[in-house]
A and B are shown apart, each in its own frame.
Chain A
Amino acid sequence: AQKVTQAQTEISVVEKEDVTLDCVYETRDTTYYLFWYKQPPSGELVFLIRRNSFDEQNEISGRYSWNFQKSTSSFNFTITASQVVDSAVYFCALKASGNTPLVFGKGTRLSVIA
């Protein structure tokens, strides 16, 4: 069975601080996919990034970066120089290959204070 743990329920930072959101996953599959989604107050889940289990390269996109480490089953997300617009709930998700559902963590609510 697949499982995603986001141990941080809520994080509050002051604008311009860096913040890292943790994600730990469990799966027995050798082929799987990891995702991060952002959910602003409007409710829609916005796709941020996807990684497959064979690609451990870290990714940077503007102020966002992701660190994927299979050795620790982690896929952490860092926002550099946070902004108020980054305030949202962030979800990490896991999907094994084949007809399996996307499994979400409980989410981390990030509040960036001006």
Chain B
Amino acid sequence: KAGVTQTPRYLIKTRGQQVTLSCSPISGHRSVSWYQQTPGQGLQFLFEYFSETQRNKGNFPGRFSGRQFSNSRSEMNVSTLELGDSALYLCASSLNSGTNTYTDTQYFGPGTRLTVL
């Protein structure tokens, strides 16, 4: 079974631009989560989508947004890029039964490394 895929793998943008990152989950997985990883802050949760609905959101400004499609693929968008947005953006998928009584393991993709100049 193919793992989580993320495109593009590397991206260079300038301040003020916007960017869209894509994530394809493992086949059959319905939940997709996004994380930002920086040397200073470590791994921080951005948001989680399940059945095309945002189910959870981290403490990030509104410039960070996402969506999930009916095939569970997800995109995240960052508008008006700032230098501090330079990071590795990781996507994770989980099977997720959709209940609150069980937690599935999250499997991660290779990440998209975003550099903002």
B90 nearest in chain A by CB position: A45
Q: Does B75 contact A (CB under 8 A)?
A: no
Q: Does B63 contact A (CB under 8 A)?
A: no
Interface segment, one of A14-22, A58-66, A103-111: A103-111
Q: Does B111 contact A (CB under 8 A)?
A: yes
* Pair A45/B105 contact, Cβ less than 8 Å: no
* Pair B42/A106 contact, Cβ less than 8 Å: yes
Q: Does B56 contact A (CB under 8 A)?
A: yes
- Residue in A45, A46, A50, A104 whose Cβ sees the most chain B Cβ within 10 Å: A45
B33 contacts across to A, CB distance below 8 A: 101-102
A interface residues, Cβ below 8 angstroms from B: 33, 35, 37, 42-47, 50, 52, 91, 95, 97-107
Q: Could you tell me the distance between the alpha carbons of A95 and B110 in the complex, rounded to whole angstroms?
A: 22
**Secondary structure at chain B's binding surface: helix, strand, loop or mixed?**
strand
* Pair B100/A101 contact, Cβ less than 8 Å: no
Beyond the given A42-B110, A98-B100, A100-B56, could you list 19 further A-B residue pairs with CB under 8 A, ordered by the A residue number?
A43-B111, A43-B113, A44-B108, A45-B90, A45-B108, A47-B105, A47-B108, A50-B105, A97-B100, A97-B102, A97-B103, A99-B55, A101-B58, A102-B45, A104-B35, A104-B42, A104-B43, A105-B42, A107-B42
* Pair A44/B110 contact, Cβ less than 8 Å: yes
B107 contacts across to A, CB distance below 8 A: 47
Q: Does B101 contact A (CB under 8 A)?
A: yes
Q: Does B27 contact A (CB under 8 A)?
A: no
CB distance from A17 to the nearest CB of B (A): 27
Q: Does B106 contact A (CB under 8 A)?
A: yes
* Pair A101/B56 contact, Cβ less than 8 Å: yes
